[in-house]
Amino acid sequence: MSALLMTLQIGELINGIGSAKVDLEAEARMLVDWITKDVRQSEIKNLYGNDPRGDHIKFNMWEWNQTGFNQQYTDEYVEYSYDNQTETLSREFRNENGDVLVQNFTGIVMPDPDPVSETGKGIFYTNYASPTDNNFNSTDLLNNRRIIVVIKKEKSVRNRLLNFTLVEEVKIRNE
Amino acid sequence: MNRRASALILGLLVILVLSILSSSFLYKQINHSFVTNRYADSTRALWLAESGLRVVDNDALCDSCTSAPVNVGQGYFVRNITKIGEKSEIINATASNTTTYYEVNATGTVSGVSRTINGVVNAKVSTLSVPAGNFPFGVQSSVDIKFQGASKVFGENTTSSDPDQDPEYYKENSSFSFPDLFGYTTSEIKGMSTLYNNTWPSGNVTDTNTPPRPIWVKAPSSSFNGNVYGSGILIVEGDLKITGKIDFDGIIYVIGKLFMAGTPLINGTILAESSASVDTTVTGTADIQHNTTAIENALEILERHTAFPPQVVSWKEIQ
């Protein structure tokens, strides 16, 4: 009987951890997908002009001007800010009515900024070879129109720390 | 007996619990697999939509059309193209660009998962043309022009009902050069022309090639006394002495001495670039009418259009 109970307990533990791991992966994937979808359709000069850093990007939305044949910025914008103290990534969206909608994604665990190597500064990079070999350079961003999004999510389940890291490179489409 | 029954029940319970656990694992795995596959399909759908946008070439562009599904791998893309408008840009007197803008909605679909990109594509056509304003006279010569007989030179602004030679439409001792007027050197034009070597053409000289070419005549030593009619650009390399009949709309350019007698009827312009100090002579019943439209039509032969591959100038995901 005790063997049965032990089997049940272990099964339940593994099941719980497995579920949490799947959830964690799904959350990270969804978040990266969301960020890349936003960033991909930004306009590089506008992104560059809004103080891009490893822990912050902002860009205005735009509409196609049918008479001037060019992109025209609107007051709408998307802003991502990461705070590694609270392990929170915020997405701020100002819509066409002027409402600012804020969404917070918690459990984003990126390393503390390294003042010497400037590695581990946030979730945005222009070069990412490994968690310790990376950097963000806004000039590279402007020249290459390429940004690398790295999300490391962490969650504690039954005294076990689970983490999942997803890296995705995005080519910014609009010059 | 009772102990055996208890063991059996316990065994069945263990099997039941293990079955429930296994089912639960299996369900989670299937669910995880489904989520992962959907994510992969969504990524593929995006790249298919991107393909639909990027592979647009000049032949695919239209005022309004929807492509048939294009199968790629496990999915397909469909694109919808609508013309937005045109922008023209004058670069200089001879060059201009016309850029046409098209809205392209490209949808990629894989296993029922679709993503759509809304893009704007521009197609630029660069045009090199020669302005008719380079040819403001009915007769233009680098030497003196001698009018005799019943010859007439007039143009669009000539008010006299029976003009002889309207001074507005002829210019003698004029300084001009072939490349300045045509935007091409003589050898370039000769290279693109239909050639008559040491023989005068006869009959209709309108070039029937597609696109039409200039007519280049390397003049024989004899005078021209045949019968020629047509339109376009006629260049004579050597002296042109007309004693026959010419009825021509467009531009005649003579790299040599010009003597017009007989019954030439020119609707456009005639130029003589002669290094000899022999006068250009217009006599007989020569009838030369400066006609800008005829000159423009002739210069269309030299128009060169260069179509550049379409460029994506705007990109947005809408679904």
> Which residue type occupies A120?
G
**Is B28 an interface residue toward A (CB < 8 Å)?**
yes
Q: How far is CA B43 from CA A42, A73, A149, B36, in A?
A: 19, 28, 16, 11
Tell me the pLDDT band of B2, cut-offs 50, 70 and 90. Answer: confident
Is the pLDDT reported for residue B50 higher than 90? yes
Residue of B nearest to A61 (CA): B316
| Plot region of A118 (φ>0 → left; ψ -120 to 50 → alpha; else → beta) | left
Is the pLDDT reported for residue A23 higher than 90? no
**Is B30 an interface residue toward A (CB < 8 Å)?**
no
Closest CA to B172 of B262, B287, B267, B279: B279
Q: What is the arithmetic mean of pLDDT over B240-252? A: 91
Q: What is the arithmetic mean of pLDDT over A131-151? A: 90
Give me the pLDDT at residue B104, please: 95
**Is A66 an interface residue toward B (CB < 8 Å)?**
yes
Cβ count near A163 (within 10 Å): 14
Is the pLDDT reported for residue B270 higher than 90? yes
With contacts defined as CB-CB under 8 Å, which chain B residues touch A4? 10, 13-14, 17
**Chain B contact probe: residue of A64, A65, A73, A169 with most B CBs at under 10 A:** A64
Give me the pLDDT at residue A113, please: 59
Residue of B nearest to A66 (CA): B84
Beta bridge partners of A109: none
Give me the pLDDT at residue A116, please: 57
With contacts defined as CB-CB under 8 Å, which chain A residues touch B32? 22
In percent, the amount of chain B with pLDDT more than 70 equals 97
CA-CA distance, B137 to B150, in Å (whole number)?
19
Q: Omega into B167 within 30° of 0, i.e. cis?
A: no
Q: What is the arithmetic mean of pLDDT over B224-230? A: 87
Give me the pLDDT at residue B114, please: 95
**Is A161 an interface residue toward B (CB < 8 Å)?**
no
> Which residue type occupies A9?
Q
Q: Chain B closest CA to A98's CA: distance in Å?
A: 21
Tell me the pLDDT band of B319, cut-offs 50, 70 and 90. Answer: low
Angle at A94 between CA A127 and CA A77, to 5 degrees: 35
Q: pLDDT, tens digit, for every residue of B189-204?
A: 999 999 999 999 988 9
Q: What is the arithmetic mean of pLDDT over B8-34? A: 84
Is the pLDDT reported for residue B139 higher than 80? yes
> How long a stretch of residues is chain A?
175
Q: What is the arithmetic mean of pLDDT over A115-138? A: 78
Provide the ipTM: 0.83
Q: pLDDT, tens digit, for every residue of B163-198?
A: 788 889 999 999 999 998 988 899 999 999 999 999
CB B279 within 8 A of CB A2: no
Q: Chain B closest CA to A68's CA: distance in Å?
A: 9
pLDDT greater at residue B78 or residue B129? B78
Nearest to A64 among B17, B120, B317 (CB): B120
Tell me the pLDDT band of B276, cut-offs 50, 70 and 90. Answer: low
Give me the pLDDT at residue A110, please: 81
Domain spans, chain A = 2-171
**Is A6 an interface residue toward B (CB < 8 Å)?**
no
Give me the pLDDT at residue B39, please: 87
**Is A4 an interface residue toward B (CB < 8 Å)?**
yes
Give me the pLDDT at residue B161, please: 67
pLDDT greater at residue A38 or residue B225? A38
Give me the pLDDT at residue B31, please: 82
Q: Chain A closest CA to B32's CA: distance in Å?
A: 7
**Is A5 an interface residue toward B (CB < 8 Å)?**
no
Is the pLDDT reported for residue A101 higher than 90? yes
Pairing state between β A56-65 and A70-83? antiparallel
pLDDT greater at residue B139 or residue A10? B139
Residue B262: alpha-carbon gap to chain centroid: 40
CA-CA distance, A164 to A109, in Å (whole number)?
10
Under DSSP, the state recorded for B224 is: B
The pLDDT mean for chain B works out to: 89
